[in-house]
Homo-oligomer: A and B are copies of this chain.
């Protein structure tokens, strides 16, 4: 039920979001954006100034005539957020201001198998990083993304096969180590999707229906519909990675057969190259090497036709999987993340053809697909979004 305060809260959030999206922006400009009059904006902004959420900056100096506007900015400097991206081999760590702009170099360390020791190490590294020149006072929160199924409410990592974590109460461990800090857990792909919709919302036309597909050791999918992350009954929505391509297909890590993941994950691609089970050999010398997906892509670029074929197969299956997702949800935009994006120039056409092969209409086949390269640190940005996005979230109706 809408109380006397509701419309104020709604407008407060709208104002905050608009300032974030259009900063630097004056009160008068904000009034035009909100289609209200300046008096209302004055009141809203004064409240935000009191709360220290917004600060006034320099005056504008455009060549238009009339009184110069005083610009408004989000007050992002007084506090910082910690973002953690846990991955199978290494864990990445970033500290940003309240808007998500990095305050220091990204750090990383080997992911420890034991959750308790992992959290200890994490805590030490965060402490080191803060001592090395972060002068912001308040910690806004800590966002941590994990590749696997988890419950953000209870903070339990239910199943993260690539980490070997099962029913680990990560939140309790983190709470013990980071006292008084707000902690946000989420599945990696879901957080990536959140970060993307969050970026887009800032950057102009709102994209409210999008899908983020993360291809790595496993396959994760985050879905945003109507601007909201789809979580499902037990935060287990988005498990498109185990969509069957063929119910009698190759076995998957989840115990089933023919999952999309069993066709397109990095291990699947590598297995397709080496031939199942047989280890890779260094060309020329015949030496046995541990083959990584980066290696495989390098070989493909160097002219190894078998490596290229393996990538093309992965591309085709990826496209078929995307086609199913597109048929099912009709998203406005599909993002792809993961190591494989580095070879996108080689495989894009194959992916697109496979999408066209199994989509039901020409419009669906034309759904835009964009890669998010590793250089943009999508997972870390997802972790940041977990911390910063709630402040801007629209208030809910009953």
Which A residues fall within an 8 A CB radius of B? 1-4, 6-8, 10-11, 14, 34-36, 149, 158-159, 209, 221, 223, 225-226, 228, 230-240, 242-249, 254, 256, 258, 320, 324, 327-332, 358, 360-361, 363-364, 367, 394-395, 397-398
Contacts and interface: CB of A to CB of B under 8 A. Distances in A.
Contacts of A239: 327-328, 330, 360
A243 B245 contact: no
A240 to B, nearest CB: 5
Contact of A244 (B209, B320, B361): B320
B234 A364 contact: yes
A375 to B, nearest CB: 29
A233 B362 CA distance: 12
Contact of A360 (B6, B249, B254): B254
A297 to B, nearest CB: 25
A149 B361 contact: yes
Main secondary structure of the interface of A (DSSP, over half): loop
A149 B67 CA distance: 56
Contacts of A3: 7
B7 A236 contact: no
Nearest to A332: B233
Nearest to A320: B247
Given A11-B1, A330-B233, A243 B324 contact: yes
Contacts of A360: 149, 236, 239, 242, 254
A240 B325 CA distance: 9
Contacts of A232: 209, 329-331
B234 A363 contact: yes
Q: Which residue among A158, A240, A246, A254 has the maximum number of chain B CB atoms within 10 Å of its CB? A: A246
Contacts of A330: 230-239
B1 A34 contact: yes
By Cβ-Cβ distance, the 4 closest A-B pairs, closest first, are: A232-B330, A237-B330, A2-B7, A2-B10
A324 B325 CA distance: 11
15 contacts: A1-B36, A2-B14, A6-B6, A159-B361, A221-B328, A226-B230, A232-B331, A234-B330, A236-B360, A239-B360, A240-B328, A246-B246, A246-B247, A246-B248, A394-B397
B1 A4 contact: no
B2 A6 contact: yes
A204 to B, nearest CB: 15
Q: Which residue among A34, A228, A256, A331 has the maximum number of chain B CB atoms within 10 Å of its CB? A: A256
A329 B237 contact: yes
Nearest to A364: B236
A244 B363 contact: no
A142 to B, nearest CB: 26
A167 to B, nearest CB: 12
Nearest to A35: B1
A361 B158 contact: yes
Contact of A237 (B7, B228, B245, B328): B328
